[in-house]
A and B are shown apart, each in its own frame.
Chain A
Amino acid sequence: TQLLEQSPQFLSIQEGENLTVYCNSSSVFSSLQWYRQEPGEGPVLLVTVVTGGEVKKLKRLTFQFGDARKDSSLHITAAQPGDTGLYLCAGALYYGGSQGNLIFGKGTKLSVKP
């Protein structure tokens, strides 16, 4: 059973389109991170969100942490071919005041065609 479910698994869009990918769980996370991974490379951290309801923007990328800290979304505006990659969410489970290790979802594979 995957603690963090990411959807969709695959997404292929044209340059200029907007998109949203999701990261969902039935568990509460003390914090959640988004990474982007390109072929043949390791994941690279994009953002960390720690407060329920928090919204962070990174140029054309908008990240949101759900109010209940069980889910998150990543929205990309006007996607570009350079956005192509595997987007991974990773969460630290909340254990009544303490934090567990980082757990990764399987990712959304995004392809942006010119």
Chain B
Amino acid sequence: DAGVIQSPRHEVTEMGQEVTLRCKPISGHDYLFWYRQTMMRGLELLIYFNNNVPIDDSGMPEDRFSAKMPNASFSTLKIQPSEPRDSAVYFCASSPDRGIQNYGYTFGSGTRLTVV
């Protein structure tokens, strides 16, 4: 299995531009999570999906952030417009369950976003 695949690995963009991050979860994993990691705040859950349906988006910072999962093999996280404070590493993770007691989460390699 190729694992969780994220693209791009690095993204540098100017303030105000739209940014789209992409994720392909592991086949058969019903749960998909988007996290953001910074030195100050660590790993923060932004949103998670179960069977392509958004379940909890309370971690999404503001309306500039949106996430979709049009099918079981693809999800996007969009930031529009982007701001310098959005600079962070964004991780996608998937799991066959909520990952709490059994399988844990399988993380992708992340997208390092820099907004200048």
Contact = CB atoms under 8 A, between A and B. Distances in A.
B42 A42 contact: no
B101 A48 contact: yes
Contact of A50 (B45, B101, B106, B110): B101
Q: For chain B, which range describes its interface: under 10, 10 to 19, 20 to 34, or 35 or more residues?
A: 20 to 34
A85 to B, nearest CB: 13
B48 A101 contact: yes
B60 to A, nearest CB: 14
Nearest to B59: A101
Q: Chain B: interface secondary structure?
A: loop
A111 B106 CA distance: 24
A106 B100 contact: no
Given A99-B100, A101-B45, A101-B56, A43 B107 contact: yes
A42 B48 contact: no
B91 interface: yes
Query: Which of A2, A30, A106 has the most chain B CB within a 10 Å cutoff?
Result: A106
Nearest to A43: B107
Interface of A: 2, 30-31, 33, 35, 40-45, 48, 50, 88, 90, 92, 99, 101-107
